[in-house]
Amino acid sequence: MNRLVWFRKDLRVADNPALWQARQDLANSGAEARLYAVFFDTEVQWRQHGMGERQMNLLRCAVSELAQQLRALNIALIVIPCDTFEHSLGRLTALCDALNVSNIYANHEYEINEQRRDQTLADACQQQDDCQPRAFHRFHDQCLIPPGKVLTGDEQMYKVYSPFKRAWQKVFPGYCQPPKATPAACDGRNYQAPEQLCGDHRLPECQPDALWSSNEDDIHQQLQSFLQQSVQRYHQLRDIPSQPATSQLSCALALGLISARQCLYSAWQQNACELAGGEPGLDSWINELIWREFYRHLIVAYPQLCRHKAFKPDTENVPWRYSESDFNAWCEGKTGYPIVDAAMRQLKQTGWMHNRLRMISAMFLTKHLLIDWRWGEAWFASQLVDFDLASNNGGWQWSASTGADGAPYFRIFNPTTQSQKFDPDGQFIVRFVQELAALPAKQRHQPDSLKRRQTGYPQEIVAHKFGRERALAAFKGEPFAQ
Ligand code: FAD
């Protein structure tokens, strides 16, 4: 009987628990057994999740790269286009029947629909009659500690990051496992998928992205460069958007081109230090990896987050504004706040935005413009190459004060002072808001009306004081001027 690895957003051959185990089991099974791989190209489903063209293209490029990597291991990747998850389960069953597959291997995905899909398959495998038994093996891969394993004394998920992090650090030694290598190549006979399947299921078309690689080896190089050149000063420079101080690995992590384990262990090898209390740049970077864990653990504990419900239910009563003209100005980078506009233009042009700017622009939309965070969340999802539901939802709800965060709703960043603090010379601003390039550095944060008229840069869409007070009133349930 044969084995099948079902790839999802874990598009790599090294340190892939499902692939690794399938290969181990193959080695222990009969000489004639084969190992296949499958990927379902579920475009309709991806679009429903909000994924945009750029990430979808990268995902497909990554699938093509994966097919080559698997070919070197003598494993055929069969790519099946289908609309929905239900459809993919039907196609999977047909594939398993055609290939005589007895064991399916996959890594967990934690979003609600994905979990339901996998449970349906697991139930179907259990209920199968004995004449053709089929097993579905699932592995935790996306997080360093599986969701549900970092809990309060009352066995509840933490609602705030800092205590979660402390507990995470205590629990981690129990889950500390070095990354697995790329498995050994299969016997050459395993490579060919049956002709009739290959003919139908060509690799998806994609265009290489000029900025973002989808090649596993490139990503490891990127990690090494970051660890050698930038991590030491990460804690000092990580908030400065004009500096290339962060890893920019979020896209690779979101598509599973690299694992969090590989990131953590490479960092340790490089710096030979402890989980905490070691080198400050590295500690600070690991802290971000733990934020990533926090949001994934949250969507498992509170699956309604996947349906875009507010984490704090009372904030569902905030009377959000649904002004399309204000929203469009924000999306286009034409709010008249240079730091916000530079951020939004960076997003549109590159598919990525610096973390500090994500916070500033998200808070501007939800506080100064009082627009429902779900609109911003959807826009980010459609533009980001690193879109991932858990981190995006977490970041948006944090910024909108509707989420898992101890800070009160009256934390409202002043975009101009944020700009002065984190982009003091306006270097980042003029990279994307070129209208302001001729202005002296100090004037780039808040040009006067005359300069705006002269340069064609828009007037402020809302005054900071007015926007701030309107948001405070709206959150308190008091009347406010539109
Ligand atoms: P680094 O600073 O090098 O950090 C290393 C890794 O840690 C990142 O690649 C990422 O996987 C993780 N990480 C870093 N910061 C965070 C964070 N605050 N929350 C969760 N994980 C983090 N991140 C996404 O991966 N996908 C998203 O869709 C996403 N949407 C966001 C929306 C908003 C409104 C906000 C405020 C943040 C969002 N983030 C998202 C988190 C963060 O901005 C990005 O992960 C980070 O900017 C990626 O850059 P980097 O790879 O250089 O990160």
217-236 per-position pLDDT tens digit: 999 999 999 999 999 999 99
- Residue 257 CB–ligand 1 contact under 6 Å: no
Taking only the tens place, the pLDDT of each residue in 100-121 is 999 999 999 999 999 999 999 9
Residue 482, pLDDT score: 81
User: Which residue in the list 6, 168, 291, 379 is annotated as catalytic?
Assistant: 291
Which residues fall within 8 angstroms of residue 69, CB to CB, at 6 or more apart? 12, 13, 216
The DSSP line for 198-253 is HHH-PPPP----SS----HHHHHHHHHHHHHHTGGGHHHHTT-TTS--S---HHHH
| CB-CB contact of 150 with 267 (8 Å) | no
* Ligand 1 center–CA 250 separation, angstroms: 6
Q: Is 398 a catalytic residue?
A: no
Nearest residue (by CA) to ligand 1, atom 25, is 250
The segments of the chain whose pLDDT lies below 50 read 199, 273
pTM equals 0.96
Q: Is 320 a catalytic residue?
A: yes
| CB-CB contact of 186 with 160 (8 Å) | no
Report the DSSP beta bridge partners of residue 138: 106
- Residue 361 CB–ligand 1 contact under 6 Å: no
Residue 273, pLDDT score: 45
ipTM for the predicted complex comes to 0.99
Hey, is 41 helix, strand or coil? strand
Which residues fall within 8 angstroms of residue 441, CB to CB, at 6 or more apart? 424, 425, 426, 427
Taking only the tens place, the pLDDT of each residue in 441-482 is 999 999 999 999 999 999 999 999 999 999 999 999 998 888
User: Which residue in the list 168, 212, 320, 352 is annotated as catalytic?
Assistant: 320
Residue 203, pLDDT score: 76
Using the atom order of ligand 1, give the atom closest to the CA of residue 249: 51
Residue 192, pLDDT score: 67
- Residue 248 CB–ligand 1 contact under 6 Å: yes
* Ligand 1 center–CA 15 separation, angstroms: 22
Q: Which residues of 451-482 are buried (b: 16+ CB within 10 A; e: fewer)?
A: bbeebebbebbbebeebbebbeebbeeeebee
Q: Is 288 a catalytic residue?
A: yes
Query: 233, 240, 355: which to mutate for ligand 1, most atoms within 8 A of CB?
Result: 355
